[in-house]
Amino acid sequence: MDMLSTSEKLKMLLASGLTTVEVARETDITQATISRIATGKHAEPRERSVRAIDALYTKVCAQLLVVADLASQGDTTCCGHNESVTSSGHAQALGNDAAKDDGP
C-alpha cells in the first residue's frame, strides 16, 4: 500500500525539477489537470491519471536512486557522457532520454 497520495507524488515530481508541462507530456494528462491534482483542486483523479502519475513517479525515483548511487561512488557523469548531473537535472532529462545523442 502506497503511503503517498497521487497529489503528494505529483508534488515530489515537480520538486525534482520537472515542470507541469513535462509531467503532462510524460503522462499524457493535460497540464491543467496536472495543476489541479497538484493543488488538491482535483481530489479524486481518474484511475488512468493515478496509474500514469504512479508510473512516472516510479521512473523518476529509480533514476534519482541511480544518480545518487553514482554520486556516492564519486561518479557525477550521466549515462557515460561527460555532463555533470544533479538529481533535478537528471529528472528534467526524462522526456529527452538522457542518453540520446543528437550527433554532430
pLDDT of amino acid 41: 92
Q: Is residue 37 part of a domain?
A: yes
Number of domains in the chain: 1
Provide the pLDDT for residue 59.
92
End-to-end CA distance of the chain: 47
Classify residue 70: in a domain, yes or no: yes
Instruction: Write down the pLDDT at residue 64.
Output: 82
pTM, two decimal places = 0.68
pLDDT of residue 98: 38
Q: Does residue 59 belong to any structural domain of this protein?
A: yes
* Distance separating alpha carbons of residues 76 and 60, to the nearest angstrom: 17
Task: Give mean pLDDT in consecutive 10-residue pieces for the chain, a chain of 104 residues.
Answer: 84 92 96 94 93 94 81 59 46 44 39
